[in-house]
Structure 1
Amino acid sequence: MIRRFFNNKKSNASLYKAISLSLVMRILSAFSGLIVSVFISRKLGATEAGLYFLAYSIVFFLAALVRIGLDETIVKFTGRVYGSPEQGSLKSVLYKAISIAITPTIAIALLLFLFSDEISVYIFEKPNFSPVLRNIAFACLFLPLSIFISKSLQGCKKIVSSAYILNVSNSILLILMIVMFGKIDAVELSFYFLICTAITFTTSAVIWLFHNNNMDYINLPTQDIYKSCLPLWIVVIMGQFVQWSSQIISGFYLQADEISLLATAQRMATSTSFVLLAVNMVVAPRFAKLYGENNIIKLEKLAKSSIRIMLFISVPITTFIMLFPELIMSIFGAEFKKGASVLQIICLGQVINVLTGSVGLLLSMSGHERDLRTVTLISGPIALILPFMLIPIYGINGAAYSTAISMITQNLIAAFLVKRRLGFNTLIFWKMEYKT
């Protein structure tokens, strides 16, 4: 009994330390991301910033599609084998993920580059958008590769390195370039972002080799990787619809300055969930390990403890944003105050996101990828259809409603399926349902 008590204390201390480190990195990420948005909005103005943010959202959306769910597969496999006699297979997972994704990644980047004029004129009806899209196109190549390496480091519990590559590096580099080069426009900024992604990829490769190069290589069958990632591919696609569809579809209906308002409001609202992302960095490999050991009691305890941590930190921040949205949006410039209601709407969706906890990760890390696919097959089409219905009627607020509704739908359905598959309800975060 005494040994168990001290083992539990040691385990909790390790968890809190890891979450604290991840939280520091996520705070740095959120802060640097917001600073970048402020710099861009104030230096470029709403119209030029809108062109850059539209290109940014397209590139991130496409970069997620070509990853075909391999990033979560990397976390799951690496989290299970790291520290075990089979840990050499984590090399195989990463190398094969890169080899699988590299061809479609290059193809997408080339298509964006070669057909930027046609996309800008015939799809978005914004001819001045073409050079911005052309400059940023090859970021589609560097982003997935950096994310793969970051996820591998996450599975190895190298939380600081993983979070820096995934969330911090590009923002800090872009801030430095904006400061160095002074007056810029959307075309120049998109090229600077491409350079930042290339530097981040190079840095991530060096960090990964430093941690893992001396590890023996153990081959993992390619079919095992496909078996895990392909069910997650549709999850990734639908998840990207939830995150980016409103911004991209807004490009069909709204002017560039309105797109800028939407993008900055969404970035600000999303920054309130930095604690969720910080906790996810830590708990993802632990979820996989506990489920692999069939330890559902500890799995529930970990899931609910993480929700309480998230709520403790995020509720005061969210409350301030909901009460003073105009003050928050004025940080980006006086013309951005018009986005106050957009910020409130999207922020509401983020509240539910934090309240339900890491339900998507619980499903994917516990082998219930098909359930997660079901969730996204419902929320993804909602996120895709609603903007076409609501933006023509409500304008920019319609885009915000679309984002919030699809996000809330996704998380509530996932929470229901966690209860069904794992036996506990994350919304009842204040008590344990499994008894020891």
Structure 2
Amino acid sequence: MDEVNRALQKIARGTGIVFLGTVVSMALGFFTRALIARSLDRTQYGVFSLTLTILNIGLTLALLGLANGLPRELSRYKKEEPEKVPELVSTAFILVAAGSSLTAAVIVLAAPSLSPIFNETLLPPTLRIAAFSLPFWALSMVLVSVSRGFGRVREKFYYQNIVIPLIFLILTVLAVFMELGLSGIFFAYVFSQIAGFLILMFETFRLRFLPGRLVFRPELAKELFLFSFPLMLTGILGYIMNWTDTLMLGYYLNSDIVGLYNAAAPIARLLPIFLNSAGFLYIPIATAFFARAQLKEMKRIYQIMTRWIFLLTFPLFLFMFVFPEVTITTFFGAKYAGAATALQILAAGFMFHTLLGLNGMSLTVIGETHANLIGNFFAALANVALNILLIPVYGIEGAALATAASFIVANIFRSGWLYRKTGIHPFSRSYVKQLSTGIGMIVILRIANVSASSVWGVLGILVVFCVTYLVLVLMMKSIEPEDIDLLSAVEMKFGVNLNKVKCILERFR
């Protein structure tokens, strides 16, 4: 078995674990959000969304880009200077501990000043409560990044994806049952982050990923900071792309509209689930290929992973894009049905982000972090400008258009830069066949004006559609040898017999 197949199988196994954890995490998060949205009025739910938006921006500043930079640097140090790995880990931990504590203090002090900006008196008290979760949240993410640098996914799966969201859900149920209101929900949020961090810290010490005695090395801190700083700025710009719509809806309109929009936005953000799951182990594995100047093999991995990511994401996109009203009302209730058109627009933007593959992570692998920064800068600039122009006229649909456009701009730039530097692109012949077939079938569905009034009706239509799509993909002979090898890896991992499936695929190669 060649190196590409071994790398693909390792990524696939890791992707399966991360994906399962992500699905569980999103299911818990969705159930929690739905519970909060149904127990509060739309204005209070809007305040909840605004508070988390500001907290997420604070998290990006507090992490200093290390959540994305640390796995790559650990992978490099393990090969070149393994004796410095413990010092690298402890230096990163101390940097984020200091940065997150400072950021939390700034949020607490700045909370009263944010109230008049968003015309919302409930915002300062919720921000003061939520800010206390920031150091624990940031340090948990650093510990997960350390385990990722060591090629492990268990810490992300068990602790970040399951333990913390589950604790938050349980505490939220108690807060709703005891009628503690919005403040009670945020206290639940803080306690869940503290508990998750303590459990993860214990596990990290047990695995000896974190030294028993923390040391700070200024030279390592400088190196980490210089590499990760563009990633931090990229992350800030990414959050501008993701959250400017929420913030500017609060500024131009009101919390009620923010609550309505934030029924559509979390659903659309489900679309990159397979992309992000695959990317968890892609960076350390692709870094090893790049370090050996094996760009041809790296390109092959990129194309195959992108094709599988699209194939898995497509049914989810179809559900949101063709049946947006049923999708929203199923999760959030009839009072949020007005966000259906916004969901369609957002889904199109996030699907474009997904179909171009792991372009941003590949730029990180080849050391072109500034390219991500430049791409996100122009996209964020476009997002802000479009929100200013479109929200006063079109409301939540204008906000959705601005966000979708910014993701399209950013991904075109990243993919163009990656191709110029390495020749890597996602468009193999098999992938073009899959894309054209999927787009054609969506056009047919829209022209035929297929509709359903219940989620069960929608699922029935989707099953028929997906089966037809897979048959067409097979008939177009878009199966490649690596697809068969990936199924063999699934057989070995889970002990299932897929010989019949492999035989069918072999006939259509």
The structure-2 alpha-carbon separation of the partners of 1:164 and 1:253, relative to structure 1 and needing over 3 Å to count, comes to farther
Deviation at 1:111, TM superposition (A): 2.5
Map 1:135-150; keep pairs closer than 5 Å.
135-150=129-144
Match of 2:119, SS? coil
Alignment of 1:381 onto 2:416: no
Q: 1:80 aligns with which of 45, 69, 76?
A: 76
2:246 corresponds to? 247
- Which has the larger displacement, 345-354 or 245-254? 245-254
Aligned to 1:204, the other structure's residue is in SS state helix
Q: Any idea what SS the aligned residue of 1:115 has?
A: helix
Deviation at 1:325, TM superposition (A): 0.8
The Cα shift of 1:195 comes to: 1.2
Question: In the alignment, is residue 315 of structure 1 matched against residue 304 of structure 2?
Answer: no
The Cα of 1:267 is off from its aligned counterpart by 0.7
> 2:147–2:209: 8 Å Cα contact kept in structure 1?
no
Supply the distance in 1 between the matched residues of 2:416 and 2:190 (Cα, whole angstroms). Answer: 40
Q: 1:126 aligns with which of 120, 126, 146?
A: 120
CA distance in 1, matches of 2:261, 2:210: 47
| Equivalent pair of 1:26/1:277 in contact (CA under 8 Å) | no
Q: Higher mean Cα deviation, 148-157 or 202-211?
A: 202-211
Shift of 1:319: 0.5
Pair 89,39 (structure 1): closer, same or farther in 2 beyond 3 Å: farther
Which of 59, 76, 85 is equivalent to 1:90? Answer: 85
Q: Deviations over 1:365-422 (max 9, x none)?
A: 2111122222122112222332222111111111111111111111111011110111
1:364-379 alignment, distance < 5 Å: 364-379=364-379
AA at the equivalent of 2:191: I
Structure 1 pair 389/427, CA: closer, same or farther in 2 (3 Å)? Answer: farther
- 2:143/2:204 contact within 8 Å kept: yes
Q: Identify the residue that residue 62 of structure 1 maps to in structure 2.
A: 58
SS at match of 2:293: coil
Instruction: Give the SS at the match of 2:64.
Output: coil
Structure 1 residue matching 2:279: 3-state secondary structure:
helix
Tell me if structure 1 keeps the 8 A contact 2:12–2:278: no
Q: Supply the distance in 2 between the matched residues of 1:150 and 1:271 (Cα, whole angstroms).
A: 21
- The farther-off stretch of 423-432 and 69-78 is 423-432
Partner SS state of residue 418, structure 1: helix
Aligned-residue offset at 1:431: 7.2
Q: Which residue of 2 aligns with 1:270?
A: 269
Alignment check: 8 A CA contact 1:305 1:429 kept: no
Contact 2:28 2:165 in 1 (8 A): yes
Question: Post-superposition shift, 1:151?
Answer: 1.1
Report the secondary structure of 1:138's partner residue.
Answer: helix
Of 183, 187, 207, the residue aligned with 1:191 is 187
Aligned 8 A contact 2:237 2:380 in 1: yes
Mapped pair 1:117 → 2:112: yes
Instruction: Name the CA distance, whole Å, in 2 between partners of 1:337 and 1:295.
Output: 50
For the residue of structure 2 that corresponds to 1:221, the secondary structure is helix
Task: For 1:350 and 1:131, locate their aligned partners in 2 and report how far apart those are by CA, in whole Å.
Answer: 33
Alignment of 1:225-244 (within 5 A): 225-244=224-243
Distance in 1 of aligned mates of 2:61 and 2:119: 24
Alignment of 1:162-201 (within 5 A): 162-181=156-175, 182=177, 183-201=179-197
Q: Higher mean Cα deviation, 214-223 or 147-156?
A: 214-223
Aligned to 1:20: 16
CA displacement at 1:338 relative to structure 2 = 0.8
Q: Deviations over 1:213-250 (max 9, x none)?
A: 58799977333212211232321221111111111222
Q: Give 3-state SS (helix, strand or coil) of 2:63's partner.
A: coil
Contact 2:55/2:134 (<8 A) preserved: yes
Amino acid at match of 1:222: A
- CA gap 1:295/1:73 in 2 versus in 1, 3 angstroms: same
Do 1:37 and 1:264's aligned partners in 2 also have CA atoms closer than 8 Å? Answer: no
> Which is worse superposed, 359-368 or 95-104?
95-104
- Residue 100 of structure 1, CA deviation: 2.4
RMSD: 2.3
Contact 2:151/2:281 (<8 A) preserved: yes
The one-letter code matched in structure 1 to 2:137 is L
Is the contact between residue 150 and residue 163 of structure 1 (CA under 8 Å) also seen in structure 2?
Answer: no
2:406 counterpart of 1:406: yes
Q: Distance in 2 between matches of 1:94 and 1:393?
A: 49
Alignment of 1:277-292 (within 5 A): 277-292=276-291
Q: CA separation in 2, counterparts of 1:406 and 1:153?
A: 32
Task: State the distance in 2 between where 1:377 and 1:6 align.
Answer: 39
- The SS at the match of 2:367 is coil
Deviates more, 1:97-106 or 1:36-45: 97-106
Residues 299 and 424 in structure 2, CA contact (< 8 A), matched pair in contact too: yes
2:250–2:257 contact (8 Å) kept in structure 1: no
Tell whether the 8 Å contact from 1:43 to 1:184 is kept in structure 2 after alignment: no
SS in 2 for 1:137: helix
Moved more, 410-419 or 256-265: 256-265
Any idea what SS the aligned residue of 2:41 has?
A: helix
Deviation, 1:290, is: 1.4
The answer to whether structure 1 residue 41 and structure 2 residue 34 are counterparts is: no
- Higher deviation after alignment, 260-269 or 414-423: 260-269
Between 259-268 and 407-416, report the one with greater CA deviation.
Answer: 259-268
Q: 1:304 Cα deviation (Å)?
A: 1.2
What amino acid maps onto 1:141 in structure 2? P
Letter in 2 for 1:397: E
Which structure is larger by alpha-carbon Rg, 1 or 2? 2
Q: CA deviation at 1:89?
A: 3.1
Whether 1:99 aligns to 2:117 is no
**Letter of the aligned partner of 2:407 in structure 1?**
M
Once the two structures are superposed, what CA deviation does each residue of 1:61-112 show, in whole Å capped at 9, x if it has no partner? 1110222212222011122344x47344333233222322333422221222
